[in-house]
C-alpha cells in the first residue's frame, strides 16, 4: 500500500512539473488593432506586400496597402520585415485527450468501450490545460480538431481554439463530424516487432466487408429512426448521427487503402453523406474518382515512409501535389505522436518542395482545412469579416530555419507564446550566465 501511495505521489509531481501554471489565457481585447508594414499571406493564394491588417473587436475589418492608422486609442504592431499568416489549423488530433500515452492512464481520455459509439463527444473530455497546447501555439497552430479514437464508430469531433480556461471556452465548432475507422482489406505489413501472419486475402476481405455491412445496417436503422415523427423511446446512438443526414455534420472515414476509400464513396452514394477521407495514403491512385464524388481528403502521412513496397520512396511528399492537380480538396495533418503535431507547417513546407506552390501549401494547413472542417466562414484566411486568428513570423513559417513566431492572435486576443520548453530555456540561460 505504501508503494502505491509513493507511486501516486511521483506521478502527481510529474504531471505538475509538466504544467505551465503561469501561462494564462489572454483577456478579450475590445477595440482597434492594426498590424502594419507586413507581408500578408491571405491563405487563399494571394500575397500582399507592405500591407496593413485592421482588426476591430476580434474581427478582421480590412486588409490592404492604403489603410490609414488613427492616432491614439488604438493598438499598433509594426511587423516590418515580417510575414503574417492565418493561424494554422490541425485537422485531426488527440490534443487535450491524451497527455502521457502508455504510462499514466489517468492523463488519457480518448476512447470508449464498445464498437459503435457515435454518441461519444470528444470535446467534453478536452483538457484545456494540456502542456502540449502552448508548444503548438508557439509553432503557429491556433486551432485544432480533437478526435475520439477506438471502435468502428468512435464518436464526434470538435474544433477548439488553443487559448482557453476550459473546454467550454475552447469550443470553436462543436460536434461537426462523426468518425469511422474502416477495417483493413489487406494483411498488416510485417515489421521486426510483428512478423508476418499467414492469412488468406479473401478471408481478410470477407471479414472487412462483414464489418462494413454492420456499419451500413446501423446507418439504415438510423435513417429509419430519424424518419419517424415520434419515438416510443429515445435511442442516443441513432440520435447522434442526425447531423449526417441533415448535412450539419460530415462523416470522417479513416482510410488509407484504395478499397477502404471505395467503401467511403459508397457511404456517400447510399446515404448522401458529406464524406472526408482521413489518412488517404493511397488517395493519389483514385484522385479523379474522389474529385468526381466531391470527397475531401486529410493527409496524415507527411514525413513518412510509403504505404506499400511498390510505391516511390517520395510518394508521401508527392501526394499533395497530385491531389491539387486533380482538383481534390485536401488538407495536411501531422499525426506524429513523438513530435506531438508541432511539425504541421513543416509538412506543408516539404509538400511545397515536391510540386505544390508555397501558397498552395499554406492553404493546405489553413483555408482548405477550414473548408473541410466547416469553419471557413469565420477562419482560415485573413479576410474581412473573419475572426482575427493570425500569426506573425520573422521568416517563412513553413521553413524550420526561419520560422520564428513572434506574435499570435486568437479572435483578436494576443496569446502568450511561453511554454514549458521556453521556460526551461530561460531557466538554464540564466543559470549559466548566458542571459
Domain ranges in the chain?
88-379
Could you give the CA distance from residue 375 to residue 154 in angstroms, rounded to a whole number?
Answer: 22
> Which grid cell is 309?
513496397
Cell 542571459 belongs to 435
**Residue 284 DSSP symbol:** G
Which residue, 133, 145, 135, is CA-closest to 90?
145
- What mean pLDDT is reported for the chain? 90
Strand, coil or helix: 391: strand
Could you give the CA distance from residue 383 to residue 386 in angstroms, rounded to a whole number?
Answer: 6
Residue 186 pLDDT = 84
Residue 202 pLDDT = 80
Strands 413-414 and 405-410: antiparallel
Q: 145-190 pLDDT, tens per residue?
A: 999 999 999 999 999 999 999 999 999 999 999 999 999 988 766 6
Q: Compare 366 and 197 and report the one with higher pLDDT.
A: 366
Strand, coil or helix: 11: helix
> Which grid cell is 14?
510529474
Asked if pLDDT for residue 3 goes beyond 60, the answer is no
Could you give the CA distance from residue 411 to residue 393 in angstroms, rounded to a whole number?
Answer: 18
Query: CB of 324 within 8 A of CB of 351?
Result: no
Q: Show the CA angle centred on residue 179, arms to residues 213 and 334, nearest 5°.
A: 130
Asked if pLDDT for residue 378 goes beyond 60, the answer is yes
Residue 330 pLDDT = 98
Q: What is the mean pLDDT of residues 107-128?
A: 91
- Which residues, including other chains, have CB under 8 Å from residue 91's CB and lie 6 or more apart? 144, 145, 298, 331, 332, 333, 369, 372, 373
Strands 390-393 and 405-410: antiparallel
Could you give the CA distance from residue 66 to residue 60 in angstroms, rounded to a whole number?
Answer: 16
Could you give the CA distance from residue 148 to residue 97 in angstroms, rounded to a whole number?
Answer: 8
Q: What is the mean pLDDT of residues 111-119?
A: 92
Q: What is the mean pLDDT of residues 46-65?
A: 96
**Residue 312 DSSP symbol:** -
Cell 489487406 belongs to 186
CA dihedral (391, 392, 396, 397) positive or negative: negative
| Neighbouring C-beta atoms of residue 309, cutoff 10 Å | 6
Residue 7 pLDDT = 43
The CATH number of the structural domain formed by 88-379 is: 3.20.20.140
Could you give the CA distance from residue 352 to residue 404 in angstroms, rounded to a whole number?
Answer: 19
Q: 78-105 pLDDT, tens per residue?
A: 999 999 999 999 999 999 998 877 667 7
pLDDT band at residue 407, thresholds of 50, 70 and 90?
Answer: very high
Q: 417-428 pLDDT, tens per residue?
A: 998 888 899 999
Lowest mean pLDDT among 61-70, 71-80, 303-312: 303-312
Q: What is the mean pLDDT of residues 194-204?
A: 70
- Dihedral angle, C-alpha 297, 301, 302, 304, nearest 10 °: -160
pLDDT band at residue 29, thresholds of 50, 70 and 90?
Answer: confident
Query: CB of 136 within 8 A of CB of 144?
Result: yes
Residue 10 pLDDT = 41
pLDDT band at residue 354, thresholds of 50, 70 and 90?
Answer: very high
- Which residues, including other chains, have CB under 8 Å from residue 56's CB and lie 6 or more apart? 31, 32, 33
Strand, coil or helix: 285: helix
Residue 13 pLDDT = 39
Could you give the CA distance from residue 15 to residue 171 in angstroms, rounded to a whole number?
Answer: 24
Could you give the CA distance from residue 329 to residue 292 in angstroms, rounded to a whole number?
Answer: 11
Beta bridge partners of 53: 35, 63
Query: CB of 390 within 8 A of CB of 366?
Result: no
Q: What are phi and psi of 229, to 5 degrees?
A: -80, -30
Amino acid at each position: 500500500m505504501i508503494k502505491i501511495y509513493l507511486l501516486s505521489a511521483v506521478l502527481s509531481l510529474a504531471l505538475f512539473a509538466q504544467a505551465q501554471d503561469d501561462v494564462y489565457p489572454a483577456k478579450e481585447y475590445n477595440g482597434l488593432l492594426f498590424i502594419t508594414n507586413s507581408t500578408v499571406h491571405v491563405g487563399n493564394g494571394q500575397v500582399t506586400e507592405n500591407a496593413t491588417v485592421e482588426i476591430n473587436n476580434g474581427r478582421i475589418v480590412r486588409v490592404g496597402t492604403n489603410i490609414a492608422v488613427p492616432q491614439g486609442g488604438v493598438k499598433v504592431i509594426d511587423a516590418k520585415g515580417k510575414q503574417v499568416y492565418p493561424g494554422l489549423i490541425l485537422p485531426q488530433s488527440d490534443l487535450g485527450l491524451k497527455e502521457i500515452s502508455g504510462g499514466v492512464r489517468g492523463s488519457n481520455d480518448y476512447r470508449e468501450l464498445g464498437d459503435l459509439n457515435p454518441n461519444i463527444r470528444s470535446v467534453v473530455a478536452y483538457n484545456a490545460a494540456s502542456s502540449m497546447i502552448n508548444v503548438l501555439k508557439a509553432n503557429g497552430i491556433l486551432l485544432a480538431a480533437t478526435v475520439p479514437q477506438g471502435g468502428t464508430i468512435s464518436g464526434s469531433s470538435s474544433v477548439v481554439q488553443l487559448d482557453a480556461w476550459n473546454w467550454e471556452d475552447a469550443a470553436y465548432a462543436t460536434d461537426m463530424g462523426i468518425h469511422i475507422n474502416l477495417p483493413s482489406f489487406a494483411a498488416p505489413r510485417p515489421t521486426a516487432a510483428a512478423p508476418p501472419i499467414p492469412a488468406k486475402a479473401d478471408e481478410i476481405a470477407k471479414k472487412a466487408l462483414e464489418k462494413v455491412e454492420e456499419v451500413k445496417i446501423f446507418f439504415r436503422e438510423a435513417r429509419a429512426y430519424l424518419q419517424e415523427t415520434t419515438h416510443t423511446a429515445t435511442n442516443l446512438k441513432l440520435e447522434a448521427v442526425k447531423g449526417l443526414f441533415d448535412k450539419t455534420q460530415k462523416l470522417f472515414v479513416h482510410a488509407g487503402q484504395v478499397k477502404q476509400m471505395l467503401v467511403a464513396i459508397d457511404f456517400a452514394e447510399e446515404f448522401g453523406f458529406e464524406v472526408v477521407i482521413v489518412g488517404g495514403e493511397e488517395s493519389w491512385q483514385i484522385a479523379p474518382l474522389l474529385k468526381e464524388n466531391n470527397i475531401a481528403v486529410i493527409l496524415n502521412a507527411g514525413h513518412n515512409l510509403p504505404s506499400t513496397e511498390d510505391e516511390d520512396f517520395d510518394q508521401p511528399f508527392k501526394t499533395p501535389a497530385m491531389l491539387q492537380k486533380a482538383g481534390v480538396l485536401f488538407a495536411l495533418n501531422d499525426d506524429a505522436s513523438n513530435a506531438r503535431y508541432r511539425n504541421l507547417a513543416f509538412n506543408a513546407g516539404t509538400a511545397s518542395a515536391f510540386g505544390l506552390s508555397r501558397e498552395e501549401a499554406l492553404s493546405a494547413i489553413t483555408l482548405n482545412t477550414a473548408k473541410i472542417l466547416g469553419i471557413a466562414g469565420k477562419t482560415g484566411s485573413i479576410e474581412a469579416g473573419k475572426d482575427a486568428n493570425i500569426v506573425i513570423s520573422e521568416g517563412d513559417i513553413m521553413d524550420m530555419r526561419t520560422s520564428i513566431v513572434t506574435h499570435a492572435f486568437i479572435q483578436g486576443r494576443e496569446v502568450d507564446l511561453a511554454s514549458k520548453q521556453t521556460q526551461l530555456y530561460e531557466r538554464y540561460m540564466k543559470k549559466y550566465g548566458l542571459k
